[in-house]
Structure formats: C-alpha cells, structure tokens
Structure 1
Amino acid sequence: MMSSMQTPPTDPLDLDVETFARPVQQRRFASAMEQLAASRRPDASARVFISAAPRTMNNPKWDSWLKQIEGELPGGVEILHYRNTFTDRPYDWSALAGELDGLVVVGKQKRPGSRVYLFGPIARLELRSLIAKKPVLLFGHNLGLIPAIDCKNQVLGPEDAPRLKLIAPKRWKRDSETLQAALHALGAAPTGGEGPRPATAHLAHPFATPPR
C-alpha cells in the first residue's frame, strides 16, 4: 500500500548543483550576452553599477569588496555606486538604468560563509529592471561574481515592499559559461569572426512580485 504522505520539498541549500538555471535559460542568457558583446564599440567603456545598502557600504570590508569586484570585472569597466553617482543628483534609478551596461548586487549575507543573500525592496527593484536586459551579477563574498540567473531566488514579504533572497549554487564554478558570457558582454566588442547567434527578445523574468 502506498503512503499518502507527500515528499517534502528539497531545501535548495542541500541541492548539489552548479546552477539553479534550466539549460534553456542558460542558452538564452548566453545568446543575449553574445548580442550585447557584438554590439559594443571597442572604444566604449562599460558602465557597471554596484548596488549595496548603506549598511553594507559602511562595513569596514566595503573597500576590500569593491576592489575584489573591480578585479573580477573586465579591465576598463567604469564602476558606479551610490557614493560616486548620487552625490550631486537625486536618486532616479529609471534614468540611470538606461545608461548602465551591467549591475552587481551586494546583499546581506545570512551569516558568515553562507550562500544565502538578502536584499531590500530598492535593490530588488533595481535588479528586476535590468535582469532581462543586461548582465546582472551577485557578489558572493566567498565565491566571487555569479550571474543572478544561476541563483535560486525567493521573493519575501511584506507584499507592499517585497524583498528578495538569492541562494548561490553549491558547486558554483567561476569558469561557467554564463559567467564568461556576462563578462564578455562587459568587455570590448569582438572584431571579425562569425556574427552572434540570434538572441531571444528577452530573458525569463524570475523576480516577479508574489501572488496576493
């Protein structure tokens, strides 16, 4: 006789995976990044915004984290963040987003060594605005840069100001195809060779507001 009890869902932290993205999501992401790389002018520097809450930026390790992020991005990338962008102009993300080539989100680590990162409503909205258009990367303190598409995401309450939780994959590898594609999109445009594969109109949008 079969048991009527259902198998409880697996904790994402227990999954021994290199990515939480489906193969089709990875292919679409790589194709979209190829198109961005091919469209870049060789003499144009990519502009990447580092999104971090004030508490994070006031952490004694902030300068070290910023240096690590800069070191993992392609050379010549222009680094923007709140302290060098909104000093003489009001916060207007919709206007700034159109000027950006990529985004790195720095969340609150659940605990030292954890692969779980928490983000407030503002960071979530910033991420949502670019996730389907440009390279969006999570800064994992012990893991380096990880494309958000490779992470497990969960929208948290409250409903009027949803927050976001990202979980980095357990067996994340820095030589992953998605990361290399994202970094290539932020580097100089390739010269010669074959053109890019046709890119999809948009990427899957995994950070929607939870149903009411």
Structure 2
Amino acid sequence: MMSIMHATLTDPLDVDTFAKPVQQRRFAAAMEQIASNRTPGALARVYISAAPRTMNSPKWDSWLTQITEELPAGVEILHYRNTVTNDRPYDWDSLVEQLDGLIVIGKQKRAGSRVYLLGPIARLELRSLIARKPVLLYGHNLGLIPVIDCKSQVLAPEDAPRLKLIAPKRWKEDSATLQAALHALTPGSGDTGTGQHASAVDHLAHPFAAPPQ
C-alpha cells in the first residue's frame, strides 16, 4: 500500500511552468505586440528592483553583469542607486512610465532554493508593470525567468504584504515565454508584428489580493 501511495504522489513544483498554455500564448502575443510597436533602433530601459541588502551584497556587481549578459545588447539598466539621487528622489509613478521592463531580485529562501521573497516595495513595483511590460525574476542559479512562469503567493502582514515567487523545477532557458520577453526588449527593427495585444495574464493579473481565509 505504501509503495502504491508513493507512486501516486506528485510534486506540484516539478513542472517547467506554472502558466497554462493559453496564458503562455497570450503572453507571447503581448510581447510580440510590444516588439512590433518599438521605434526602430530605440533601446529598452529595464529597472532592476532590489532591496538594499541585495545591493550591498559583495555579489551585486556579478549579478548585474550576469543580468546584462542575458538581456539583449544595448538595454539600458536602471536601479535605485543610479536612478535616485539627492536631486531626484524616488518617484515610482514618474519612473514607471519611462520603463520597458522590470527585473526583480528577491531574497532567496536558502542557497539553491527556487523560492524568492519580495518586500512590499518590490511587490508594488511588480504589480504596476506585470500586465503591461516584460517582468522577469532573476534566479541566482537559474538566470532570468518570466514571472508568468512562476507560482505567486501574497504573504502577510496585510498592511505591507510581501510576495513569494516560486520558480518551476524544470525551468528551461530556451522557453518560449523567455524568448518572447527578450524579443520585446530588443531594439526595434521596423518589422511589423502579427500578434494581437493580449489581455492581462489570468493567473497574474490579480495575484495581489489577500489569500483566501
């Protein structure tokens, strides 16, 4: 009996994506629309959302280097330190309209873990762009992963909720969603896309409400 029960158990994280096929198709169509609308030769601006403890890590520069190498050539990378100054305070509402994409770096649950925690500010930054632009999670040992492919969960407290993102165990860097997101950040070539603008991805359009009691 024990062996039969063990055989029927499955690991819900042992997948290559948490998005449904229709959600992946909608995401790819939305990214294609973004790419087709980009002005020829225009470079994309991507903001890296990271907590102070992350930017103070001795690995910060190497993480920035890896992210830069995985993005299309010429993408302008912004983050708190090169965006916010004494003369230019943090104003996300103004900054977000200038961005073409977002990369979040969460606190890894433990070394090698696929679970990442985002603080209240990073959660709000993600929320503002998730249904409109490419939004990626940087996994320290996985590289860039579209947030659409991750499992999300809102965590207490209610007055300043955090967000937990779980990367799928069988994530592959050649996934169609990642290629679509990177294409949306590639300088425009003047080609016209055939995809139609998609509606917000179902399982991430409203991931920010309090979890059911």
TM-score by length of 1: 0.90
Deviation at 1:11, TM superposition (A): 6.2
Map 1:1-212 → 2, pairs under 5 A = 12=12, 15-87=13-85, 88-192=87-191, 195-204=193-202, 205-210=205-210
Deviation at 1:90, TM superposition (A): 1.1
* Contact 1:162 1:209 survives alignment (8 Å): no
Which stretches in structure 1 are left out of the alignment for 5+ residues? 1-8
Q: Which amino acid aligns with 2:81?
A: R
Which stretches in structure 2 are left out of the alignment for 5+ residues? 1-8
2:43 aligned counterpart, secondary structure: coil
Matches of 2:199 and 2:24 in 1, distance apart?
A: 15
* Contact 1:153 1:206 survives alignment (8 Å): no
Deviation at 1:137, TM superposition (A): 0.2
Deviation at 1:44, TM superposition (A): 0.9
2:201 aligned counterpart, secondary structure: coil
Matches of 1:195 and 1:82 in 2, distance apart?
A: 33
After the TM superposition, list the runs of 4 or more consecutive aligned residues in structure 1 that deviate by more than 6 angstroms. Answer: none
Deviation at 1:202, TM superposition (A): 3.0
Deviation at 1:73, TM superposition (A): 0.4
What whole-Å deviation, never above 9, does each CA across 1:40-65 have from its counterpart, x for those lacking one?
11221100000000000000000000
Matches of 2:124 and 2:164 in 1, distance apart?
A: 13
How many residues of Structure 1 are paired with residues of Structure 2 in the alignment? Answer: 201
TM-score by length of 2: 0.90
Matches of 1:190 and 1:25 in 2, distance apart?
A: 27
Deviation at 1:99, TM superposition (A): 0.4
